[in-house]
Amino acid sequence: MISCGITEVQFVNNSYQRQYIKSQKWEFPIGNTKVSSTDWEPKLKFPGIGKYNGKLWLNPGTGCADSADIEVRIFPDLTADFSYKYDTCYAQPVQFTDLSVSGSGGIVSYDWAFGDGQKGAGKLINHPYNIPGEFSVALTVKDLNQCVETVTKKVRYFPVPGILVVKPSQVIACAPANLIFDNLSKPVDDTYKVSWDFGDGTNSTLANPGKIYSTPGTYTVSLIVTSCDGCSDTIVKQDYIRIQGPNGSFRVDPSVICLGSGITTYTSATNTATLNYLNGEGTSIPISYFPIIPEGDTVLDTISYVYNDTGIYYPQMLLTDTSGCSIAIDPRIPVTVDRKSTRLNSSH
């Protein structure tokens, strides 16, 4: 039996067929004295570090007696301990340092469990955490005498990420663009505050927000992450999102006409390669002579069109740029075609 640093030893009696055991005696001669007990499982106090030989007698002084030799070794104490340090504001590995003390003078192994499913070995070790939280870190040490001790401490880890990582679903897209912004920064959880600025006057506090860009252009995106301890970091992605596509306006005049009469469309467009008039009857009419309008320039174009039946029509002008991005523009009001244009003369 081995005891490390504890001189009062609890014995376990594994003798079997106890129904035949009427008495027992434990005895350890120590110099001119004896340490003894008649309890089934005694707790005996020894003088100090050393090796002690003794006996356990069963049914002593009877014809059914038996005995067993017992050796007790009491080794110097082993105390497990460690310290740790890290930058509480900015994420970096936590440095763990062993502070264990062995009375035997030699520790042969250091085994760490970091509370996040990871393990390590060594007297001095650095461990990175990919998630924030409170972790139960355990150090188990073993000395030359095979004494083993374990100490567990809580490590509170809530820094902001050392590097903020932003990943949108697209960086170049056609308007309207429905994007998802993923915050891949580590460590971050739902205890952290996040603030997104999408560069068009809109923002979000969601961890991984969605964002719709309706207008072509180039947008700067920024992200601020703040830990529950009040530390924060910012990343600014200058001119990060490029939304392509034409832009313009479209109207028709007049909007109420007699059957057989025509309307005139007015289109103001920029960054546009082709125009197609969607007449509201299910037909797309390309305007083949329309010139390519580079980004930054604006051209006003007009066409005439005659509807062959009465009804209410919702025409659109489809603008397409050189990259294939398109946008359909609605007029302010629909086109109404009557047999007689009574609406035009309603004031008489």
Q: What is the full DSSP assignment across 109-120?
A: EEEEE-SSS-EE
Same domain? 12 vs 71: yes
Whole-prediction pTM: 0.67
Do the domain assignments include residue 131?
Answer: yes
Do the domain assignments include residue 119?
Answer: yes
Same domain? 14 vs 63: yes
User: What local confidence, expressed as pLDDT, does residue 117 receive?
Assistant: 96
pLDDT at 346 over 70: no
Q: What angle do CA 54, 58, 62 make, to 5 degrees?
A: 120
Cis previous bond, 331, omega within 30: no
**Structural domain total, the chain:** 4
Last residue of a domain, one of 31, 53, 75: 75
Same domain? 82 vs 68: no
Torsional class of 68: left (φ above 0), alpha (ψ -120 to 50), beta (otherwise): beta
Do the domain assignments include residue 37?
Answer: yes
Share of the chain above pLDDT 90, in %: 75
Closest listed residue to residue 161, CA positions, set 253, 64, 89: 89
Same domain? 141 vs 176: no
Do the domain assignments include residue 197?
Answer: yes
Average pLDDT over residues 301-324: 89
- Domain extent at residue 43: 2-75
Last residue of a domain, one of 75, 102, 132: 75
How many angstroms separate the CA atoms of 143 and 129, rounded? 29
Same domain? 240 vs 285: no
Last residue of a domain, one of 157, 181, 201: 157
Do the domain assignments include residue 348?
Answer: no
Do the domain assignments include residue 346?
Answer: no
Q: What is the full DSSP assignment across 238-291?
A: EEEEEEE--EEEEEEE-SEEETT-EEEEEEEEESBSEEEEE-SSS-EEE-TTPP
Average pLDDT over residues 172-195: 94
Average pLDDT over residues 109-138: 96
